[in-house]
Amino acid sequence: MKKPFIDDDKRKKRSREDYVDNECGSDEYRETQPEKGLHHIANAIKVLSYDADDDPRREQIIDGTITWLQAYAKGDPKAGWSPPYGAYSGNEELGPILEMVHDILWEHDEHPYSYSVEELVEFQDED
């Protein structure tokens, strides 16, 4: 039986938004992609393999990853960046994938940053 990380929809939504914004909407993306995204994606696929059911999100993640990497490889001509170092190229394509990654991990009592429940609650309550 899967146990959610925290059974609180508001905290889950905030956690997902913070995670995706950090990974796709900050210098974190430019400095760590595509390696970090691929690591998070591989972790979610591994977690899905623990389930007996054939979760359709596995295929969605794989298809989305192909789309993301193609966008990443094109670079961002508007910003003067050329492939494969496109600053933020592909960040919009990675966002929906990481939303699924977050939710898959959450459903399996994990957080993408390996936070404990206490750490996440403390972080969210600081704001």
Is residue 11 one of the residues assigned to a domain?
A: no
Which of the two residues, 76 and 126, has the higher pLDDT score?
126
Which range is least confidently modeled, 25-29, 40-44, 119-123? Answer: 25-29
Is residue 18 one of the residues assigned to a domain?
A: no
pLDDT tens readout for residues 85-107: 556 788 899 999 999 999 999 99
- Predicted model pTM: 0.86
pLDDT score of 53 more than 80: no
Is residue 82 one of the residues assigned to a domain?
A: yes
Is residue 17 one of the residues assigned to a domain?
A: no
Can you give the residue range of the structural domain that contains 51? 24-126
Is residue 4 one of the residues assigned to a domain?
A: no
pLDDT score of 45 more than 50: yes
User: For the chain, what is the domain count?
Assistant: 1
From CA 58, how far away is CA 49, in angstroms rounded? 9
Q: Would you place residue 1 in the very low, low, confident or very high pLDDT band (cuts 50, 70, 90)? A: very low
Mean pLDDT of 68-80: 77
Q: What is the pLDDT of residue 29?
A: 84
* Inter-CA distances, 65 with 30, 83, 123, Å: 17, 17, 30
Is residue 14 one of the residues assigned to a domain?
A: no
Is residue 122 one of the residues assigned to a domain?
A: yes
Q: Which two tokens stand for residue 26?
A: 């900050």
Which of the two residues, 109 and 89, has the higher pLDDT score?
109
Is residue 3 one of the residues assigned to a domain?
A: no
